[in-house]
């Protein structure tokens, strides 16, 4: 009986992963902000993504809720959009958004728009996105220059 239950669980997990190409992906993010990315699907078309990135002599943590859909009827190619928020700190002397050399604590709201491709037969996902932000605290204003290329190992 235990073997049957284990077999059913394995089959159910495999079906879930196949429905959305992957369940979780962990990788690197490169662009104006460099760092780590982890994306986990909560359903067939929604995912949570976490970013730990560096920029302007500081560090930011971002959480995003994303909605995915197939793009151009191509298997493995998806576009996505979402919203979230960030917290972090940075050196004002390195940022174009402030004109002093103070250290800033930052809190803000983020959006994301991107495309990703799941490479067939290997567990690699590549994505490109634009992630504008509105900073509420610490150099307030609209930050439109966050874009990146991410490469993730998927499982």
Structure tokens at 43: 């359903």
In this prediction, residue 20 carries a pLDDT of: 59
Are residues 89 and 122 in contact, defined by beta-carbon separation less than 8 angstroms? no
Task: State how far the Cα of 2 lies from the Cα of 50, in Å rounded to an integer.
Answer: 36
CA distance 136 to 111: 14
Distance from C-alpha of 71 to C-alpha of 53, rounded to nearest angstrom: 28
38: Cα within 13 Å, side-chain hemisphere: 6
Question: Looking at residue 152, what is its pLDDT?
Answer: 98
Are 111 and 86 in contact, with CB atoms under 8 Å apart? no
Domains belonging to the chain, first-starting first, are 2-154 (2.40.160.20)
- The single-letter DSSP state of residue 35 is E
Q: List the Cα angle 124/26/61 in 5-degree steps.
A: 140
Q: Please give the Cα distance from 152 to 73 (Å, whole number).
A: 22
Residue 25: per-residue pLDDT? 97
pLDDT along the chain (155 residues), means of 10: 47 42 94 95 97 94 98 96 96 79 91 97 96 90 92 96
Predicted local distance difference test score (pLDDT) of residue 15 = 39
């Amino acid at each position: 009986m235990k073997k049957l239950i284990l077999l059913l669980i394995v089959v159910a997990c495999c079906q879930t992963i196949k429905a959305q190409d992957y369940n979780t992906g962990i990788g690197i993010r490169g662009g104006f902000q460099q760092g780590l990315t982890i994306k986990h699907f909560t359903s067939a078309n929604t995912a949570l993504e976490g970013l730990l990135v560096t920029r302007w002599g500081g560090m930011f943590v971002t959480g995003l809720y994303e909605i995915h859909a197939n793009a151009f009827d191509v298997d493995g190619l998806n576009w996505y959009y979402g919203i979230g928020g960030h917290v972090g700190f940075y050196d004002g002397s390195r940022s174009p958004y402030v004109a002093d050399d103070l250290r800033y604590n930052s809190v803000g709201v983020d959006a994301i728009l991107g495309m990703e491709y799941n490479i067939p037969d290997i567990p690699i996902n590549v994505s490109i996105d634009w992630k504008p932000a509105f900073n509420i605290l610490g150099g307030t204003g609209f930050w439109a220059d966050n874009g990146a290329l991410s490469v993730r190992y998927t499982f």
